[in-house]
């Protein structure tokens, strides 16, 4: 089931350079293709993708066509990428060793208005599932339809909360009726498109509800009844495949309960009849505006996954394998950023995050090598205590004498050796041999003899991403009217236009009523913004009192979320940010009638927790003026005029087709740093196909559109100075605050612009800026991997591809030299070797230096093997480089630069 071996690297003793192969097929061979057991027979919309097969399960594993399988799943949310990105992302999942693709279904994206469905563009779920099937991968469809997922309102459509008498996720008839209608809609669509396994489709598992066990107790007995109802409703839809409920320890017998966590090796399902499934392996974490960026080390992710399969796990899903982008206003709340990169193995732009992707790919290959032994054990594996914090689990089709060598006994046997000590190495004795185990690691022995992989030993390359200017697609034709310092003339026009946003009421469907209305009840989430305006009459006595005391009155609001801004007579007085926090803002009135305007802003609706329909947004409690000579003035029940959204927003000032009727004027120097201002300019697309990012770190807070597409919210909120470290000590239990970066810097400054949203020239960029920013410092760059490097010891394990020779009998894999592998992004070539040393090099990536022992031929040999190629593999041995220092353990360290291939420098045909 492993990949085919590469061509022999030992074909001629007279040609040592043959040992430095450019391995074309090595990187594209996945650890296991799901289609191997259910052959792909069609790739069109009219025929099946697989020979129809049934899906079942027993206490050990999910059964595909009656056969137990050890499955690896990759989480990919289809709306967080463009359809044009999907094929590449799916292919990278497969190449990385995934058998399954997992996604949530996003109710609010598919039913934006009650009974009105949308399944197009980024929400074309059927197209996404078919693309997965065409790659020969299986599918885990998590219908929910509550998703959480750091997605706006957890995936619920906002119209749902307006149904009379509704309560979400409990034994409530109005909610259950709507939920059943939508779930049935999705199931019927999958059946109609023949996407279930028994129809020749890829869907093998599906989920009802989502982490309901976390909040079920909040609803008492009604929660228990609802959970039972949801399970029976799903089973009644006759899908022919199993249903799962994650984090639901009381799931009914016919429903698989599963684990979501950073570690799930200790998880046990609530019935012996169910396999051990991990639906969310959190290999990263999300970020909030004003917070640092979380990272989970590749070594710890690998450790967690290896432990899961070691202790009886059968299906594990990375949440996320590709995180993507919260385009438009889909980011959840409160305060979640536009990027949903998630530190995933495939980054937000669709590139491989190395070494995480490569290290996990090697792990998956090692696990698949163990699959025959893993599925052969019907009960528990043999357990061997190797030390106080060391243990082995042995899987075999027969009794294993663990104190003896396995050579010649004819058994299928695989073993996992774990050292869960966080600090100390351990030497353990098993199978008649000694094994050295690093702290917090698992060694995998596919043959119960040779170590194929250790979670703490990373053999994958390190990739360093960069945002870098390239050539524009053509010379800029835009004529300057105002030259602003810092504008990148190679892309952006030097002409900028501005339009001032009206503060408060601007027309449209504004209305007046008594009292403070709840934000969502008014906006229905059609905009982040809601204006509240009232009048306050100030007397001479009031002004004299404040003047004599040297004080100002203050506006007080009991609670606000997420952002509140206070204006007096059209001028911004102050702001408050927080989740249901109090506001106290000094205000300066003039004698007579004053206009008091409040702006309530949402930055993502609450996506997690009980009683979501009651959370709402805007202001709560009293709104009053304090510090007046005759006592406080309660404005809570005053007459307020309400205006939903921005004038520029509802007149679509951001749309190319609306520019003729928009009110724009040439930007002046005074317009820089001006709050509540719209900016626009034109720009050219960079050449090539590399992803494009825009730097908005010079701006304050707002939203950005490109050619009418809302790329998302932006906000240059800075993370605290503390909480990050220069390095991460990975051993020990991980939490999202353990390995953080970006302290003291804006949480997000770069924003993804999909290539599909760009044309060669004359692209329209429109920004709405709330707090004041400097558009002259905005830049447009391409995103790619510029620097790649790796360091491999001659004592490292042989390449995992060598194990594929285990088709019959055993092989001596320890006679094969380890390999150092390098790979640029698709469409890029290795153009320069900036460092190469075989011997005793020191330092790490971007900081290598030669040691006392160094083979002088290293640079020339590595350059000959790698330069001009997209990828290369180099044998790490004296046979290649000679022996520069006998008796010394040697490493090969290489650093290289990648550049765009000349074949991909021109724009794509469709652009």
CB atoms within 10 A of CB 819: 29
Nearest to 320 by CA among 147, 463, 443: 147
Backbone φ and ψ of 777, nearest 5° = -100, 5
- Distance CA(752)–CA(900), nearest Å, equals 19
Q: Which helix (H) or strand (E) holds 625?
A: strand 618-626
CB proximity list for 435: less than 8 A, separation 6 or greater = 417, 427, 428, 429, 443, 451
- Distance CA(710)–CA(712), nearest Å, equals 5
- Distance CA(291)–CA(387), nearest Å, equals 41
- Distance CA(320)–CA(251), nearest Å, equals 25
The helix/strand/coil state of 425 is: coil
Q: In sequence order, what DSSP letters do the residues of 167-217 get, joined into one string?
A: -TTSS-HHHHHHHHHHHHHHHHHHHHTT-BGGGT-SEEEEEESSSGGGTGG
Is residue 332 a contact partner of residue 152, using CB atoms and an 8 Å limit? yes
Catalytic choice (111, 167, 211, 897): 211
Angle in degrees, CA 855, 859, 860, rounded to 5: 105
Q: In sequence order, what DSSP letters do the residues of 28-66 get, joined into one string?
A: G--S--GGGTS-B---SSSS-SB----EEE-SS-EEETT
CB atoms within 10 A of CB 475: 9
CB atoms within 10 A of CB 55: 21
Catalytic choice (102, 150, 280, 649): 280
What residues pair up with 71 in beta bridges, in sequence order?
315
Active-site residue flag, 348: no
What residues pair up with 536 in beta bridges, in sequence order?
594
C-alpha dihedral (182, 184, 189, 194), degrees to nearest 10:
150
In 75-142, alpha helices (H): 86-95, 107-110, 125-134
User: How would you classify the pairing of strands 779-793 and 692-695?
Assistant: antiparallel
CB atoms within 10 A of CB 193: 17
CB proximity list for 747: less than 8 A, separation 6 or greater = 287, 288, 289, 290, 291, 292, 293, 337, 715, 717, 718, 719
Active-site residue flag, 167: no
Would you please indicate which residues are annotated as catalytic (active-site) residues?
A: 211, 280
């Amino acid at each position: 089931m492993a990949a085919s071996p590469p061509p022999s690297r030992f074909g001629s003793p007279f040609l040592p350079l043959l040992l430095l192969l450019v391995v074309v097929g090595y990187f594209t061979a996945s650890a296991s293709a799901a289609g191997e057991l259910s052959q792909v027979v069609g790739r069109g919309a009219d025929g099946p993708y697989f020979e129809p097969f049934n899906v079942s399960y027993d206490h050990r594993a999910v059964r595909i066509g009656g056969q137990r399988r050890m499955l690896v799943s990759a989480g990919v949310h289809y709306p967080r990428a463009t359809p044009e990105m999907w094929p590449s992302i799916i292919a990278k999942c497969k190449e990385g060793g995934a058998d399954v693709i997992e996604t949530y279904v996003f109710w609010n994206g598919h039913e934006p208005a009650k009974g009105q469905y949308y399944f197009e563009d980024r929400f074309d779920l059927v197209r996404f599932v078919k693309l997965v099937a065409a790659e020969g991968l299986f599918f885990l469809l998590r219908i929910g339809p509550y998703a959480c997922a750091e997605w706006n309102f957890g995936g619920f459509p906002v119209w749902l909360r307006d149904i009379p008498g509704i309560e979400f996720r409990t034994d409530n008839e109005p909610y259950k009726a709507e939920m059943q209608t939508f779930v049935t809609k999705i199931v019927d669509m999958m059946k109609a498109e023949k996407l279930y396994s028994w129809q020749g489709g890829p869907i093998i598992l599906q989920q009802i509800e989502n982490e309901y066990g976390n909040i079920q107790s909040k609803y008492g007995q009604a929660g228990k009844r609802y959970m039972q109802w949801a399970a029976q409703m799903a089973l009644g839809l006759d899908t022919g495949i199993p249903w799962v409920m994650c984090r639901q320890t009381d799931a009914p017998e016919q429903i698989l309960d599963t684990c979501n966590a950073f570690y799930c090796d200790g998880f046990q399902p609530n019935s012996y009849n169910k396999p051990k499934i991990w639906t969310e392996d959190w290999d990263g974490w999300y970020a909030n505006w004003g917070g640092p960026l979380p990272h989970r080390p590749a070594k710890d992710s690998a450790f967690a996954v290896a432990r899961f399969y070691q202790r009886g796990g059968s299906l594990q899903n990375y949440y996320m394998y590709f995180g993507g982008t919260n385009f438009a206003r889909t980011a959840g709340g409160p305060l979640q950023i536009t990027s949903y990169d998630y530190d995933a193995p495939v980054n937000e732009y669709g590139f491989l995050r190395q070494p995480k992707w490569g290290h996990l790919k090697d792990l998956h290959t090692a696990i698949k090598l163990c699959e025959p032994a893993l599925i052969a054990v019907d009960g528990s594996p043999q357990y061997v205590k190797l030390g106080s914090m060391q243990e082995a689990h042995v899987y075999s089709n027969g009794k294993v004498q663990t104190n003896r060598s396995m050579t010649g006994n004819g058994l299928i046997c695989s073993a996992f050796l774990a050292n869960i000590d966080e600090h100390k190495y351990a030497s353990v004795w098993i199978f008649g041999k000694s094994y050295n185990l690093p702290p917090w690691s698992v060694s995998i022995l596919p043959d119960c003899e040779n170590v194929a992989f250790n979670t703490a030993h990373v053999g994958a390359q390190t990739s360093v991403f960069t945002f870098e200017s390239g050539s524009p697609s053509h010379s800029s034709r835009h004529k300057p009217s105002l030259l602003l310092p810092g504008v990148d003339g190679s892309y952006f026009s030097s002409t900028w236009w501005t339009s001032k946003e009206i503060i408060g009421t601007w027309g449209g469907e504004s209305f007046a009523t008594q009292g403070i209305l709840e934000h969502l009840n008014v906006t229905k989430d059609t905009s982040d913004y809601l204006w509240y305006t009232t009048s306050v009459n100030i007397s001479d006595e009031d002004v004299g009192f404040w003047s004599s005391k040297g004080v100002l009155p203050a506006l007080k609001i009991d609670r606000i979320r997420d952002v509140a801004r206070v204006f007096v007579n059209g001028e911004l007085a102050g702001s408050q940010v927080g989740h249901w926090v109090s506001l106290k803002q000094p205000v300066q009135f003039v004698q007579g009638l004053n206009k008091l305007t409040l702006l309530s802003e949402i930055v993502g609706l609450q996506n997690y927790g009980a009683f979501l329909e009651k959370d709402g947004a805007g202001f709560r409690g009293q709104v009053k003026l304090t510090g007046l000579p005759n006592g406080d003035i309660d404005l809570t029940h005053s007459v307020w005029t309400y205006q939903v959204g921005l004038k520029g927003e509802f007149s679509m000032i951001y749309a190319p087709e609306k520019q003729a009727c928009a009110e724009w004027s040439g930007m002046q120097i005074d317009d820089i740093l001006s709050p509540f201002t719209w900016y626009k300019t034109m720009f050219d697309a960079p050449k090539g196909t590399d992803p494009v990012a825009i730097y908005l770190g010079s701006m304050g807070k707002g939203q950005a559109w490109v050619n009418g597409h809302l790329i998302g919210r932006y906000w240059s909120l800075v993370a605290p100075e503390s909480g990050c470290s220069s390095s991460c000590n990975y051993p020990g239990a991980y939490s999202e605050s353990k390995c953080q970066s970006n302290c003291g810097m804006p949480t997000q400054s770069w924003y993804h612009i999909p290539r599909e949203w760009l044309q060669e020239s004359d692209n329209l960029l429109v920004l709405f800026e709330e707090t004041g920013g400097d558009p002259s410092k905005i830049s447009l760059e391409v995103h790619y991997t510029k620097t790649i490097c790796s360091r491999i010891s001659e004592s490292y394990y042989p390449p995992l591809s060598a194990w594929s020779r285990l088709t019959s009998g055993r092989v001596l894999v320890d006679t094969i030299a380890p390999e150092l592998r390098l790979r640029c992004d698709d469409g890029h070539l290795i153009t320069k070797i900036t460092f190469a040393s075989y011997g005793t090099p020191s330092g790490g990536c971007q900081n290598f230096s030669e040691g006392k022992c160094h083979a002088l031929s290293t640079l020339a040999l590595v350059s000959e093997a790698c330069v001009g190629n997209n990828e290369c593999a180099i044998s790490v041995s004296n046979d290649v480089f000679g022996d520069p220092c006998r008796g010394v353990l040697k490493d090969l360290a290489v650093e290289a630069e990648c550049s765009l291939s000349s074949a991909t420098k021109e724009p794509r045909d469709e652009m």
